[in-house]
């Protein structure tokens, strides 16, 4: 198949899923064309069957806002025509689904029937997309996609609750390419470079936006380290970084926290870790939690959104109400205190993560593509 993938190229989960999906398809002989404003962070351009088309937006003094959607839809038309693409798979509704619809109309005038698959990832529905400023256009774009998928049952419910949707929505979960985890799951990690022998290593990975409740991460860690000697690895950059640094300093625990910034080697950092904290306000799925579990790291998370579909309470970690940092710290201490219990949770986390392997999930996307090409969905 010849597939165009449109995504955000940054460190966010939607870009990661889109990139891993495209690379997996290309490895299996499909021709995959990424169309976005920058090379996606995890994209390996040297691989076979991968193409990258950069979308440029010209600066012009009249523009207060650069018209990215226009440049994107023009680029989609150009690439579809040039390379004979059959499908445009757009990740994140805003503005990708809208731009794809425009491309579809332009191509129709040229006698080309391009199919549009839209994957909704979360904040495009729950936080941004349902805002009155965008809602009409997002609803329109979803209803005019040929196929719509969400990354969890919870996000499907939210989409149907927040918008007037006239289409079927297919749930296709986030996935993990375990090939990338073989090494870290088989090797002894050199954790002594990070912590002393008697210390546990706790980790949080996110874009440090308000939805991630990074202040709760510090609060939970503060409570855990009073009982259990530990270090916190904080991976990612974002608007809350300065606030949480000040919070950690005020609590006297700054020296126990390593701010790692954005990293392309999250799986290696997870290898060091005993516990993953994800106290988000909401997560449609929580790819970061799944990546942790694939690296044998149990998860302390909230019970909101799709997190209960990924993190199984009392098995792979624990779920708590949003903001209940006492409960999250208590659960963390329970897992970390006893080495045998910790090993059991680690094994459970890995076992459950396997359900979301690339091999299990990729066929669902392929079925969607084949169905839409055959026009039978």
User: Least distance to ligand GMT from the beta carbon of 201, Å?
Assistant: 23
151/169 with CB nearer ligand GMT:
151
- C-beta separation of 136 from 166 below 8 A: no
Residues that bind ligand GMT (CB under 6 A): 12-15, 17, 92, 121-123, 151, 174, 207, 209, 211, 282-287
Classified as helix, coil or strand, 266 is: helix
User: Least distance to ligand GMT from the beta carbon of 128, Å?
Assistant: 10
Alpha carbons within 13 A on the beta-carbon side of 97: 28
CA distances, 7 to each of 54, 149, 288 (Å)? 12, 15, 18
4/15 with CB nearer ligand GMT:
15
User: Least distance to ligand GMT from the beta carbon of 218, Å?
Assistant: 19
User: Least distance to ligand GMT from the beta carbon of 23, Å?
Assistant: 16
User: Least distance to ligand GMT from the beta carbon of 286, Å?
Assistant: 5
User: Least distance to ligand GMT from the beta carbon of 142, Å?
Assistant: 16
Classified as helix, coil or strand, 115 is: strand
Q: How far apart are the first and last CA of the chain?
A: 17
14/73 with CB nearer ligand GMT:
14
**For residue 119, what are the β-bridge partners?**
91, 149
User: Least distance to ligand GMT from the beta carbon of 345, Å?
Assistant: 21
User: Least distance to ligand GMT from the beta carbon of 212, Å?
Assistant: 7
228/235 with CB nearer ligand GMT:
235
- C-beta separation of 37 from 54 below 8 A: yes
* Cα 290 to chain centroid, rounded: 10
284/302 with CB nearer ligand GMT:
284
- The b/e string for 191-202 (b: 16+ C-beta within 10 A; e otherwise) is beebbeeebbbb
User: Least distance to ligand GMT from the beta carbon of 231, Å?
Assistant: 24
- C-beta separation of 201 from 195 below 8 A: yes
35/189 with CB nearer ligand GMT:
35
92/369 with CB nearer ligand GMT:
92
CA distances, 361 to each of 25, 47, 357 (Å)? 12, 21, 6
Please give the radius of gyration of the chain, using alpha carbons only, rounded to the nearest integer.
21
Nearest partner of 99 among 75, 64, 83, judged by Cα = 75
13/317 with CB nearer ligand GMT:
13
Count of CB atoms situated within 10 Å of the CB of 168: 10
74/243 with CB nearer ligand GMT:
243
31/212 with CB nearer ligand GMT:
212
Task: Please state, in angstroms and rounded to a whole number, the distance separating the CA atoms of residues 253 and 169.
Answer: 46
User: Least distance to ligand GMT from the beta carbon of 321, Å?
Assistant: 17
Task: Please state, in angstroms and rounded to a whole number, the distance separating the CA atoms of residues 133 and 128.
Answer: 9
- C-beta separation of 302 from 280 below 8 A: yes
Task: Please state, in angstroms and rounded to a whole number, the distance separating the CA atoms of residues 167 and 141.
Answer: 11
């Amino acid at each position: 198949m010849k597939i165009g993938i449109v995504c955000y190229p940054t460190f966010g989960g939607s870009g990661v899923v889109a990139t891993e999906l495209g690379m997996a398809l290309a490895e299996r002989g499909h021709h995959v064309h990424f169309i976005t404003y920058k090379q996606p962070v995890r994209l390996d351009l040297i691989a076979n069957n991968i193409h990258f088309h950069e979308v440029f937006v010209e600066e012009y003094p009249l523009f207060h806002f650069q018209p990215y959607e226009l440049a994107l839809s023009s680029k989609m038309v150009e690439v579809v025509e040039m390379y004979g693409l059959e499908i445009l798979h757009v990740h994140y509704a805003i503005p990708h689904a809208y731009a794809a619809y425009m491309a579809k109309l332009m191509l129709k005038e040229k006698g080309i029937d391009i199919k549009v698959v839209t994957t909704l990832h979360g904040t495009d529905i729950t936080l941004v997309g349902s805002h009155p400023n965008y809602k009409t256009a997002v609803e329109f774009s979803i209803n005019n996609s040929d196929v719509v998928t969400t990354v969890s049952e919870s996000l499907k419910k939210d989409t149907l609750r927040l918008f007037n949707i006239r289409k079927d929505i297919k749930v296709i979960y986030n996935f993990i390419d375990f090939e990338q985890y073989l090494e870290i799951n088989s090797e002894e990690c050199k954790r002594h470079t990070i912590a002393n022998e008697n210390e546990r290593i706790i980790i949080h990975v996110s874009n440090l936006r308000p939805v991630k409740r990074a202040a709760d991460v510090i609060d939970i860690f503060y409570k855990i380290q009073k009982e259990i000697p530990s270090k916190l690895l904080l991976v990612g950059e974002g608007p809350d970084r300065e606030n949480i640094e000040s919070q950690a300093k005020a609590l006297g625990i700054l020296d126990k926290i390593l701010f790692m910034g954005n990293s392309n080697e999250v799986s290696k950092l997870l290898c060091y870790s005993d516990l993953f904290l994800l106290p988000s306000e909401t997560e449609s799925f929580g790819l970061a939690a799944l990546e942790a579990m694939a690296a044998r790291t149990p998860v302390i998370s909230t019970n909101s959104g799709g997190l209960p579909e990924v993190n199984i309470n009392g098995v792979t970690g624990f779920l708590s109400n949003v903001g209940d940092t006492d409960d999250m710290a208590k659960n963390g201490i329970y897992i970390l205190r006893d080495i045998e219990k910790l090993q059991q949770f680690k094994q459970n986390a890995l076992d459950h993560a396997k359900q979301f392997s690339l091999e299990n999930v990729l066929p669902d996307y392929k079925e969607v593509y084949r169905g839409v090409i055959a026009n039978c969905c």
